[in-house]
Structure 1
Amino acid sequence: MTTPNEVAFRLTRCRSSVPRARATLRAKLGEWRAAQPVVDVGELVLSELVTNAVRVPVPGDRMVGVRIECRGRGELLRLEVSDAGVGRPEVQRPGELDNAGRGLLLVETLAHRWGVDERPAGIGKTVWAELLAPGAAPAPAEAQIAAVSVRPGQCVRAWGAWHTVRAVRSERFASGGLAVVIVLSDGGPALRLHAAEPLTVRTVAQAGPVISS
């Protein structure tokens, strides 16, 4: 299951998968409001990783896995490409007249750091690269929680719009049931709901510590 700060998908092993991966990255970075230099470098690095993966000989018709993640509060953009091929790719140092072999050299030059990990389940490997991406941030996600769980500072959806919660208090209905009164910061009428009644709130998923996958 992916979260608002990541996207994962699979690609067939063909040349058209490279522009598809770039387009997906571009769209996701647009959602995260990443700066254009981050988009440009990210597309170059992901293109090289996917190009290498679709060229690797693999058993059967196994696909290429791609995972894009914004870590922390936009400090790092992590790109992962997995394939079922054997061996570990190495940076080549081609001569001036060589027309190939510069893919991983480009990744090494542009990335903050990169590496290769064995896949924890299944065969093959994951080649990953991390780029510095200051300012990128996942778009808020939506979730439904019980009214009794709402806290000040959260954004809730009511009457077709989003409102920031200023205060929350509880009281009793005349029938004896527990009511939750949610006071909104924009001065609109307060919400008076049953404690278990669901409300839609905005949340941002927090990424975990930087670890190798």
Structure 2
Amino acid sequence: MNSENSPVPVFPSTALDFAMRFTSSPRGARLARRLVSHRLDTWGHPYTSTANETLTLVTAELTANAVRHGHVAGRDFHLRLTGTDELLRVEVTDTRTECLPLLSHHEPPGDAETGRGLLVVARLASRWGLTPRTGAPGKTVWAELCVPRH
């Protein structure tokens, strides 16, 4: 029972979870990014909040990498977004095992046209990493963002 004077938390104390498969295409990556931003807004992190903008950008990088480097013909990528009072986590799983991202903080040469996406993730996320996909070929690249308590 909730009295009128009791504050209603912006984020429930139980974990929130959203998961969906997307076509491994630029359109799928764009849709995933938009749905993450929308879901965060419904979870109490408005579109213009730092948490929403940061995790949406991280999602854009991870999903673009899944499409560009993790694409296997006929296979989708999977996105999972979870949240608690203190932590937001995005996971992007693709089915390509042999193409692993480098967990390096070194910038590519100045004239390189690609290779900076994971540097953006590393600088924006509180933590990030890579885990093998369980039960099937592939990998999951994940990123976490610590969020201040409301």
Tell whether the structures are fold-level matches, with TM greater than 0.5. yes
- 2: CA distance, partners of 1:17 / 1:135: 32
Question: How many residues are matched?
Answer: 132
Q: Which has the higher contact order (CA 8 A, sep 6+)?
A: 2
- 2: CA distance, partners of 1:109 / 1:32: 24
- 2: CA distance, partners of 1:19 / 1:105: 20
Give the TM-score normalised by the residue count of structure 2: 0.80
- 1: CA distance, partners of 2:149 / 2:17: 16
Shift of 1:132: 1.2
Partner SS, residue 93 of structure 2: strand
Whether the aligned pair in 2 keeps the contact of 1:34 and 1:135 (CA below 8 Å) is no
Q: What value does the CA root-mean-square deviation take over the aligned residues?
A: 1.9
Q: 2:83 aligns with which of 70, 82, 87?
A: 70
- 1: CA distance, partners of 2:70 / 2:143: 22
**Unaligned residue ranges in structure 2 (runs of 5+):** 1-13
Q: 1:27 aligns with which of 38, 49, 53?
A: 38
Shift of 1:59: 4.1
**Unaligned residue ranges in structure 1 (runs of 5+):** 137-213
Once the two structures are superposed, the pairs formed by residues 1-213 of structure 1 within 5 Å of their partners are 5-34=16-45, 36-71=49-84, 74-87=85-98, 88-90=100-102, 91=104, 93-135=107-149
Give the TM-score normalised by the residue count of structure 1: 0.58
- 1: CA distance, partners of 2:119 / 2:139: 19
- 2: CA distance, partners of 1:54 / 1:121: 21
- 2: CA distance, partners of 1:59 / 1:53: 10
- Tell me the percent identity: 36
Between structures 1 and 2, the one with greater strand share: 1
Query: Residues 34, 59 of structure 1: CA spacing in aligned structure 2 closer, same or farther, 3 A cutoff?
Result: closer
